[in-house]
Amino acid sequence: MHRDYLLEVKNLKKYFPIRQGLLRRVAGNVKAVDDVSFAIRSGETLGLVGESGCGKTTIGRCILRALDPTAGTVLLHTNSHSIDIAQLETRKLRPLRKDMQMIFQDPYSSLNPRMTVLEIVGEPLRVNKLSKGDELEDRVAELLHLVGLRSEYMNNYPHAFSGGQRQRISIARALSVNPKFLVCDEPVSALDVSIQAQILNLLQELQRNLKLTYLFISHDLSVVQHISDRVAVMYVGKLVELAETDELFSSPLHPYTEALLSAVPIADPDMRTRRIRLGGEAADPSSPPSGCYFHPRCRYVENICRHETPEFENLGSPNQPHYVACHLAEKLTLGGIA
Ligand code: SF4
């Protein structure tokens, strides 16, 4: 184990059975997450990007055991020992849930409209028997202050707040139990662009002050570039590339990453790249194509790509790893953005 890692995900799989007929026999599987491995260092933000439906959120939910993985390990390293969350019995998971929390995409539906802010933010404290009464109220006031909200409003209901303020309430709730690790699932996608930067800056400030570790899931590469130390790119249930953010954006090694980057809006006209339009739809995870799953849409496809699945291997250095799953990665020169 690398001593700096907080979390190591190894060969994670999540298959959803497809049932058919009167007897509901299993006729196949949707391979939402298919043999994915990565690790997250303590205090870093790992961005996870890919098109909608590629399995990003399923990975986040498997790590938190909101979904039970089909196979694989999810090791959480603490100071004294390591725990495989993927295999843990439900009752043994309960104390760990405090260490790992989630911030959801939609602050409009993730907050109960019938609960006050005090009840929403204080609920995890109450349920985990961490505080009650005046002490709980003081802690909620402190949490609201931490996320830039005034504690006078703690008796108001969510409808009285804007989208950005609601997301701050969600963040305060997630932080209430002093987690080490947060899965941020598209936390700014439902917000106006002007508010997005404020929430991203808040997340970065909280990370610095509270030594938090983030898995930041998004389909928006500009957002991921802003907040991530490293970025993993996902396509149809598999990771296809993983590298330091600057390296991945300036020198991508996978044609899918190149296509995603070509669609990122850039203000400087001299820096703009020609947009690569991907033909067809993303592959169906219940019957993916043979070989490289990306081959029907890849403009560099060669015969080997149709028959052999590329390994996810490190083409960088030991100090600056750059993982990619592409047969032609060493011979292609792909366009990135600075
Ligand atoms: Fe494209 Fe072949 Fe690389 Fe797949 S393995 S991304 S089809 S070049």
Tell me the pLDDT tens digit for each residue of 38-49.
Answer: 999 999 999 999
Give yes or no for residue 323 having a pLDDT over 80: yes
Predicted pLDDT at 3: 64
Mean pLDDT throughout 169-198? 93
Average pLDDT of every residue of the chain = 92
Q: What is the three-class DSSP state of 186? A: coil
Mean pLDDT throughout 41-67? 95
Domains in the chain, ordered, with CATH? 5-112+180-195+211-324 (3.40.50.300)
Measured in angstroms, how far is the CA atom of residue 40 from the centroid of ligand 1? 26
In which band, very low, low, confident or very high, does the pLDDT at 273 lie, cut at 50, 70 and 90? low
Give yes or no for residue 272 having a pLDDT over 80: no
Give yes or no for residue 231 CB within 6 A of ligand 1.
Answer: no
Measured in angstroms, how far is the CA atom of residue 326 from the centroid of ligand 1? 5
| Sequential DSSP letters for 191-256 | S-HHHHHHHHHHHHHHHHHHT-EEEEEES-HHHHHHH-SEEEEEETTEEEEEEEHHHHHHS--SHH
In which band, very low, low, confident or very high, does the pLDDT at 2 lie, cut at 50, 70 and 90? low
As a whole number of angstroms, the distance between CA 309 and CA 307 comes to 7
- Which residue has better confidence, 26 or 55? 55
Give yes or no for residue 325 CB within 6 A of ligand 1.
Answer: no
Give yes or no for residue 1 having a pLDDT over 60: no
| Interval 92-125: pLDDT, tens | 888 888 899 999 888 778 899 999 999 999 999 9
In which band, very low, low, confident or very high, does the pLDDT at 209 lie, cut at 50, 70 and 90? very high
Predicted pLDDT at 22: 81
As a whole number of angstroms, the distance between CA 35 and CA 13 comes to 5
Beta bridge partners of residue 313, listed in sequence order: 324
Predicted pLDDT at 184: 96
Mean pLDDT throughout 299-305? 96
What CA–CA distances, in Å, run from 201 to 57, 149, 198, 205, 286? 22, 15, 5, 6, 38
As a whole number of angstroms, the distance between CA 205 and CA 208 comes to 5
- Mutate-to-test residue for ligand 1 from 293, 302, 311, highest number of ligand atoms within 8 A of CB: 302
Measured in angstroms, how far is the CA atom of residue 328 from the centroid of ligand 1? 6
Predicted pLDDT at 53: 87
CB 282 within 8 A of CB 317: no
The string over 56-78, giving b where at least 16 C-beta atoms fall within 10 Å of a residue's C-beta and e elsewhere, is bbbbbbbbbbebebbebbbbbbe
Give yes or no for residue 259 CB within 6 A of ligand 1.
Answer: no
CB 59 within 8 A of CB 36: yes
| Interval 146-183: pLDDT, tens | 999 999 999 999 999 999 999 999 999 999 999 999 99
CB 216 within 8 A of CB 293: no
Q: Where are the alpha helices (DSSP H) in 253-332?
A: 255-262, 303-307
As a whole number of angstroms, the distance between CA 159 and CA 154 comes to 13
Q: What are phi and psi of 283, to 5 degrees?
A: -60, 155
Burial tier of 17 (Cβ tally within 10 Å: 0-12, 13-18, 19+)? middle
Mean pLDDT throughout 132-138? 92
Tokens of 260: 């995603």
Q: Which of 193, 122, 124, 139 is nearest to 164 (CA)?
A: 193
Predicted pLDDT at 71: 97
How big is the CA angle at 23 (ends 20 and 27), to the nearest 5 degrees?
A: 30
Give yes or no for residue 294 CB within 6 A of ligand 1.
Answer: yes
As a whole number of angstroms, the distance between CA 280 and CA 169 comes to 40
Q: What is the three-class DSSP state of 282? A: coil
Question: What percentage of the chain carries pLDDT values higher than 90?
Answer: 75
Beta bridge partners of residue 225, listed in sequence order: none
Give yes or no for residue 20 having a pLDDT over 90: no
As a whole number of angstroms, the distance between CA 243 and CA 71 comes to 25
> What distance, in Å, lies between the first and last C-alpha atoms of the chain?
33
In which band, very low, low, confident or very high, does the pLDDT at 269 lie, cut at 50, 70 and 90? low
Give yes or no for residue 270 having a pLDDT over 70: no
As a whole number of angstroms, the distance between CA 308 and CA 292 comes to 7
Predicted pLDDT at 241: 98
Tokens of 29: 């599987």
Give yes or no for residue 145 having a pLDDT over 90: yes
Predicted pLDDT at 190: 87
pTM, to two decimals: 0.93
In which band, very low, low, confident or very high, does the pLDDT at 271 lie, cut at 50, 70 and 90? low
**Which one-letter amino acid corresponds to residue 31?**
K
Give yes or no for residue 255 CB within 6 A of ligand 1.
Answer: yes
